[in-house]
Amino acid sequence: MRNLLMIAAFASTSFLLAQTPCSGGSAGVYPCDGYNLQSRITLGTMSAGSGNDSWGWTDPQDGKEYAIMALDNGTAFVDISDPVNPIYLGKLPTHTSSSTWRDVKTFNNHAFIVSEANGHGMQVFDLTRLRNVSSPPQTFTEDAHFNGFGDAHNIVINEDTGYAYAVGTDFFSGGPFFINIQNPLNPQGEGGYSMDSYSHDAQVVTYSGPDADYNGREILIGSNENEVVIVDITDKSNPVNISSISYGNVGYTHQGWFTEDQRYFLLGDETDETSFGFNTRTIVFDFEDLDNPSIHFEYSGPTSAIDHNGYVKGTKFYLSNYRAGLRVIDISDIASGTIVEEGYFDTYPSNNNANFSGAWSVYPYFASGNIVISDINRGLFIVKSATVDTTDPVAVCQNITAELNENGEVVVSGNEVDGGSSDNSGSFTISLSQSNFDCSDIGTNNITVTVTDPSGNTDTCTATITIEDNLAPVFNCLENQNESYDEGQSFYTLPDYVAMGEVSATDNCSTSLSINQNPAPGTQLTEGVYTIGFITEDDEGNIEDCSFELTVTEVLSVSTELEQGLAIYPNPTQNVLNVISGNVMLESISVVDITGKRLMNIENINSELLNLDMSGLSEGIYFININNLITKRIIKN
Best CA proximity match to 264, nearest among 245, 291, 250, 283: 283
Amino acid at 24: G
For residue 323, give every residue at least 6 positions away whose Cβ sits within 8 Å of its Cβ, in sequence order, or none. Answer: 303, 305, 306, 346, 348, 350, 351, 352, 353, 354, 355, 357, 358, 359
The three-state secondary structure class of 352 is coil
- For residue 77, the model assigns a pLDDT of 98
Q: Residue 524: beta bridge partners?
A: 493
- For residue 62, the model assigns a pLDDT of 86
Which tens digits make up the pLDDT trace of 167-208?
999 999 999 999 999 999 999 999 999 866 789 999 999 999
Could you please report the per-residue DSSP string of 22-53? -BTTEETTEEEESEEEEEEE-TTTTT-S-EEE
- For residue 486, the model assigns a pLDDT of 67
Which tens digits make up the pLDDT trace of 398-447?
999 999 999 999 999 998 999 999 988 777 889 999 999 999 999 999 99
- For residue 442, the model assigns a pLDDT of 97
The whole-number mean pLDDT for each consecutive block of 10 residues of the chain, a chain of 637 residues, reads 38 52 94 96 97 96 93 97 95 97 97 97 97 95 97 96 95 94 96 84 96 96 94 95 95 95 96 94 97 97 96 96 97 96 97 95 93 97 89 96 96 93 86 95 97 88 97 96 77 92 95 95 92 97 96 66 82 91 89 86 92 91 86 86
Which tens digits make up the pLDDT trace of 103-154?
999 999 999 999 999 999 999 999 999 999 999 999 999 999 999 999 999 9
Taking CA atoms, 29 is separated from 17, 346, 488, 635, in Å, by 11, 9, 105, 100
Taking only Cα atoms into account, the Rg of the chain, rounded to an integer number of angstroms, comes to 35
